[in-house]
Amino acid sequence: MFATVMVVAAEPDRPDTPGSVEEYVSVPMPPGFRVEATELEGPVFADAGGRTLYTWPSHKLRNGYSGETQGNPACYDEVRTVTAGLMSPYPPGILLPELDSRPSCTDLWPPVLAADDAQEIGKWTVVDRKDGTRQWTFDEQPLYISVLDNEPGDVIGGTTRRYGGDSPANRVPVGPPSRIPPGFAVKTTTVGRLLTTDKNYSVYAYDQDTPDTSMCHADCARTWVPVTAPAMAQAQGEWSIIERSPGVRQWAFRQQPLYTNVLDPRSWSLEGSDVPGWSNVYTQRAPSIPANFTVQDTLVGQVLADSRGMTIYTYVCGDDSVDQLSCEHPNDTQVYRLAMCGGGDPGKCLKSWPYVLADIGTMSNSRAWSVINIDPKTGHHAAAEQADAFSVWAYRDRPVYTYGGDQQPGDVNGAGTGEWRAQRNGLKAFWLRDDYMGGTL
């Protein structure tokens, strides 16, 4: 049942057609903050300039914790010089690369500072930093912005997609609760914000249903179990309730009655959508893939591929410093990436892990996907008018690649290449659907 205090906030600028953007529950905010719609992460909190707010949650690593516990800022203007030894087998105290240009934590993640007269409200509180400044927190997690975000609605700095225990302690965007009834949840995936039950089982819609009538009964309903609504539940916004039979009420979202699939073998499954007429439900879809990209079947599921059908990979990297700084963006040091893709040799990288080149004049129709110019010798952004620059496709402002070891469409031989199964310094396939390992999450 919806709480009576739930109010839909003023509608922000929406990047897509009406009805396809996730709604949220309005929460009290201090002056100067707002909510921004994003393509990939749904609604997020932003500062007065529209810049997305992030937290750095504590994350258990192999040899200890990194990130921040509630109420304890750990990101400061201090350049770390040695490894923390959080990831075995490598010991702590080893000199980090490119120290002469290495940023501090706050160079990349400026804290969201609070004025002396800031008034706490709701889950927004203020914490003292050891440098004497005061910092806003949400739910007691200190808040930051990312220097990578350029426009309101950017979430280039981080993602709420699930990351494994051996991934770096990542920064994640933070936002208001999704506007969903109790018993539901929303999960960020590569293909959109997936609607599930609060037990993480996917919910489905049936194309034979009408907004007020379910066409799934008897045998059908034994496989596709209606998601029932409590007697006190009330329709609101995009959520409605149909009465399947006297006293049996079923939730509907955007006028589609909802079901779970008893044959789903695991959480966040997309397998039910193989059955004709049935489809997963999203609060919002991820932006369309670039026009000439393709989708290929593999042994695991479906993967994003280039125009030739060759699997597309993203590069993931976080260093082993206390700050867990990113090393995956073109602005970051490239020594980790060059080590994995070519043994330190940029030329070998271009052969083994070539960039996905963009045709001249190609424009992206989203902000998640963009075309950027890269210096192929360094991996950094190219200088203006640089003659030998590559124009390449990027996802979340990071270049994407194919793998020289893939022989044919559907090969994913490069998936998991790199340290910690590519969770810290390596290349991951761009999964659009997988039935076995949660790769889309």
What is the rounded distance in angstroms from the CA atom of residue 137 to the CA atom of residue 269?
34
Nearer to another protein, 274 or 385 (CB): 274
Q: Do 136 and 118 form a contact (C-beta atoms < 8 A)?
A: yes
Distance CA 137, CA 143 (A): 5
Q: For residue 435, state whether it binds another protein (rule: CB under 8 A).
A: yes
Q: Which two tokens stand for residue 73?
A: 């800022």
According to CB under 8 A, which one of 12, 111, 301, 330 is a site residue for another protein?
A: 301
Nearer to another protein, 15 or 342 (CB): 342
Residue closer to another protein by CB (options 220, 389) is: 220
Binding letters toward another protein, positions 201-240, x by CB under 8 A: ----------------------------------------
Residue 439 found at the interface with another protein (CB under 8 A):
yes
Site for another protein in 254-283 (CB under 8 A): 265, 274
Of 392, 433, 172, residue with least CA distance to 286: 433
Interface residue with another protein among 38, 55, 83, 314 (CB under 8 A) is 83
CA 352 to chain CA centroid, nearest Å: 27
From the CB of 82, what's the least distance to another protein, in Å?
9
95 binds another protein (CB under 8 A): yes
Q: How far apart are CA 251 and CA 238, in angstroms?
A: 11
Contacts (Cβ under 8 Å, ≥6 apart) of 77:
104, 105, 106, 107, 131
- Does residue 100 belong to the site contacting another protein (CB under 8 A)? no
Of 216, 285, 196, 236, the residue nearest 15 (C-alpha)? 285
Give the C-alpha separation, 107 to 109, whole Å.
Answer: 6
Cα 8 to Cα 225: distance, rounded to the nearest angstrom: 30
Question: Contact between 28 and another protein (CB under 8 A)?
Answer: no
Indicate the residue among 372 and 427 with the shorter CB distance to another protein.
427
Does position 16 interact with another protein (CB under 8 A)? The reply is no
List residues near another protein by CB under 8 A. 62, 83, 87-91, 93-97, 164, 166, 265, 274, 297-301, 319-320, 335-336, 339-340, 342-344, 412-413, 415-422, 425, 434-439
